């Protein structure tokens, strides 16, 4: 199968790395890709939101399947674009319709959807005026959570400790701090607990659970400082035991899939459930209509199935016939970021890698110059993933390898997974039949 993968981050390098080993993938193109994806297939200089450019490429190259990494093309309706075009319609796209992508594209839509289907999430109010907002904020106790309704490049959630600060932030958001995305704001109750992420692949009828993960969003060790796209991730998540897993499937995943079916929303792709474990009960913090980054960098290395087998089943509505096989090994990824990130960051610094055994170097923001030198080209530069028999070992290996990558201004967190390393990995035995 000739596959076009859309996107250019660490997530897409992880997909490309996995597809490059897949006997079902005869040719792989990545639009636009990065220096890492170029080693797995052919990068194509087409932007993920240039649907006409994607159309030309798909028809010219005889592409047989399109896999969408990031949310933006999905929210903008790439799936609907393909279906509305007689020549493109036979080419399956892995990702939801624009209607399905609203689970991520509109926080207000997602909250109302959860309300309709009884899916546990924080109480909220959707507001378009400061007065409405103030009235609801007064009923809450701090901290206050404000979310821009639309896509805001992962920056649209603000958490404020003081009522007055929350009102001021609300005013700024409604005035267009995040453009059109924050003309509508969701205010919600703060939930106290531990976050984790669960992923499913769905063909719109049934779903398969993929290995879960935990992301580390704050820039600083000990979870301090501003939010980032993610500074590292681990999989499995030790506290995601059989009991929590059952609650997540019963209370969250099944009602979500059934809600999509009942509302006639076509969805053939990934659903990322950003969850909070509140004293053993799961609540939805957010939905994403795609895989996570850097979560994909720990999930895919643990997935034994070939992606083409899974994607074909999704496209044909035969996912029920497939079994997901996860490696019993633990994976830890440490994100190396450019100096200044998540603020204004350095670009164009030379990267030197001394490869460490057992490690995967998944490129996020990288490019090669005319002489073939590897350069930094984004805030998140490189995700170093290690697989080992325990999270502790995987974390040690990934940290060692992170130290053996050099570029000016490099930053990374040395505590990825620290909070869960000491927890028992009973879950590994529970899901694995393969002792390797
Ligand atoms: P989101 O983009 O919706 O995932 O929100 C970004 C981050 O804000 C989440 O990863 C959480 O750490 C935090 N957050 C969002 N909603 C809540 C909430 N209701 N209670 C506590 N923390 C939250
Ligand atoms: N790492 C969080 C996300 O992909 O949204």
Render pLDDT for 284-294 as a digit per residue (tens, 0 to 9).
999 999 999 99
Q: Single out the residue of 328, 260, 290 nearest to residue 99, CA to CA.
A: 260
**C-alpha span between 116 and 110 (Å, rounded):** 10
pLDDT band at 429 (very low <50, low <70, confident <90, very high): very low
* Residue among 178, 195, 286, 293 whose CB has most ligand 1 atoms within 8 A, to mutate: 286
Quick one: what percent of the chain has pLDDT higher than 70? Answer: 97
**C-alpha span between 166 and 142 (Å, rounded):** 9
- φ/ψ of 399, rounded to 5, equals -65, -40
Asked if pLDDT for residue 426 goes beyond 90, the answer is no
Q: How many CA atoms lie within 13 A of 114 on its CB side?
A: 22
pLDDT score of 134:
87
Higher-confidence residue of 133 and 435: namely 133
**C-alpha span between 157 and 154 (Å, rounded):** 8
pLDDT band at 423 (very low <50, low <70, confident <90, very high): low
Q: Single out the residue of 208, 212, 322, 199 nearest to residue 271, CA to CA.
A: 199
Question: What is the average pLDDT across 139-147?
Answer: 92
Least-confidence region, from 86-95, 224-233, 249-258, 378-387: 224-233
Question: What is the average pLDDT across 17-32?
Answer: 98
Residue 32: asked if its preceding bond is cis (omega within 30°), the reply is yes
Least-confidence region, from 53-57, 95-99, 147-151, 424-428: 424-428
Ligand nearest to the CA of 110: 1
Q: Which two tokens stand for residue 12?
A: 């897409």
pLDDT score of 288:
97
What's the pLDDT tens digit per position in 237-286?
A: 999 999 999 999 999 999 999 999 999 999 999 999 999 999 999 999 99
pLDDT score of 202:
98
pLDDT score of 244:
96
**C-alpha span between 149 and 176 (Å, rounded):** 12
What's the pLDDT tens digit per position in 291-310?
A: 999 999 999 999 999 999 99
Q: Single out the residue of 383, 399, 350 nearest to residue 221, CA to CA.
A: 399
Residue whose CA lies nearest to ligand 1 atom number 5:
157
**C-alpha span between 189 and 303 (Å, rounded):** 35
Q: Which two tokens stand for residue 323?
A: 């079994």
Asked if pLDDT for residue 428 goes beyond 60, the answer is no
Higher-confidence residue of 77 and 165: namely 77
Domains, in order of start, for the chain: 2-95 (3.40.50.20), 129-183 (3.30.1490.20), 194-421 (3.30.470.20)
Only one residue has tokens 């497939």, namely 322
Atom number in ligand 1 closest to CA 190 = 20
pLDDT band at 436 (very low <50, low <70, confident <90, very high): very low
pLDDT score of 424:
53
pLDDT score of 179:
85
Asked if pLDDT for residue 51 goes beyond 70, the answer is yes
The residues that bridge with 209 in the sheet, in sequence order, are 200
pLDDT score of 57:
98
Question: What is the average pLDDT across 55-63?
Answer: 98
Ligand nearest to the CA of 196: 1
Residue whose CA lies nearest to ligand 2 atom number 5:
292
**C-alpha span between 299 and 317 (Å, rounded):** 23
Asked if pLDDT for residue 212 goes beyond 60, the answer is yes
pLDDT score of 433:
36
Asked if pLDDT for residue 432 goes beyond 60, the answer is no
Strands 93-94 and 65-68: parallel
Cα–Cα distances (Å) from 21 to 15, 297, 325, 366, in that order, read: 10, 15, 16, 22
Distance 141 CA to ligand 1 centre (A): 16
Ligand 1 pocket list (CB less than 6 A): 122, 145, 147, 157, 188, 190-191, 195, 217, 274, 285-286
Asked if pLDDT for residue 190 goes beyond 50, the answer is yes
Question: What is the average pLDDT across 51-67?
Answer: 98
pLDDT score of 431:
39
Please provide the average confidence, as pLDDT, over all residues in the chain: 94
pLDDT band at 176 (very low <50, low <70, confident <90, very high): confident
**C-alpha span between 46 and 30 (Å, rounded):** 9
pLDDT band at 28 (very low <50, low <70, confident <90, very high): very high
The residues that bridge with 67 in the sheet, in sequence order, are 5, 94
Tell me the torsion sign for CA atoms 6, 9, 14, 16.
Answer: positive
* Residue among 147, 151, 159 whose CB has most ligand 1 atoms within 8 A, to mutate: 159
Q: Which two tokens stand for residue 394?
A: 């995987």
């Amino acid at each position: 199968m000739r596959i076009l993968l859309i996107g250019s981050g660490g997530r897409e390098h992880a997909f490309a790395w996995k597809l490059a080993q897949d006997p079902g993938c005869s040719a792989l193109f990545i639009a636009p890709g990065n220096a890492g994806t170029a080693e797995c297939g052919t990068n194509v200089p087409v932007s993920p939101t240039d649907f006409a450019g994607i159309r030309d490429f798909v028809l010219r190259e005889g592409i047989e399947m399109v896999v969408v990494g990031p949310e933006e093309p999905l929210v903008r309706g790439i799936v609907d674009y393909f279906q509305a075009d007689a020549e493109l319609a036979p080419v399956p796209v892995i990702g939801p319709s624009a209607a399905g992508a609203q689970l991520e594209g509109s926080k207000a839509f997602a909250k109302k959807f959860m309300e309709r289907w009884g899916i546990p999430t924080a109480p909220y109010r959707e507001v378009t005026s400061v007065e409405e907002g103030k009235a609801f904020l007064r009923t809450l106790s701090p901290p206050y959570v404000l979310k821009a309704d639309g896509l805001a490049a992962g920056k649209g959630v603000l958490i404020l400790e003081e009522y007055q600060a929350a009102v001021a932030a609300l005013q700024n958001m409604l005035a267009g701090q995040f453009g059109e995305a924050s003309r509508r704001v969701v205010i919600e109750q703060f939930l106290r607990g531990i976050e984790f992420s669960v992923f499913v692949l769905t063909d719109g009828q049934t779903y398969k659970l993929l290995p879960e993960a935990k992301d580390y969003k704050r820039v600083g060790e000990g979870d301090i400082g501003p939010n980032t796209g993610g500074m590292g991730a681990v999989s499995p998540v030790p506290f995601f035991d059989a009991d929590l897993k059952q609650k997540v499937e019963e209370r969250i995943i099944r009602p979500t899939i059934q809600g999509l079916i009942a509302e006639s929303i076509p969805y053939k792709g990934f659903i990322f459930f950003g969850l909070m474990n509140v004293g053993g009960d799961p609540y939805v913090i957010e939905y994403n209509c795609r895989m996570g980054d850097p979560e994909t960098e720990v999930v895919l290395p643990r997935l034994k199935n070939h992606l083409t087998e899974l994607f074909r089943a999704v496209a044909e509505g035969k996912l029920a016939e497939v079994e997901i096989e996860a490696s019993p090994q633990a994976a830890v990824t440490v994100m190396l970021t450019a100096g200044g990130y998540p603020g204004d960051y350095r670009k164009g610094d030379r990267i030197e890698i001394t490869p460490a055994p057992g490690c995967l170097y998944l490129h996020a923001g990288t490019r090669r110059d005319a002489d073939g030198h590897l350069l930094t080209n984004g805030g998140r530069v490189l995700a170093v993933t290690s697989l080992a028999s325990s999270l502790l070992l995987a974390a040690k290996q990934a940290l060692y390898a992170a130290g053996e990558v050099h570029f000016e201004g490099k930053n990374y967190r040395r505590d990825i997974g620290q909070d869960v390393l000491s927890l028992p990995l009973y879950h590994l035995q529970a899901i694995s039949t393969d002792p390797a």
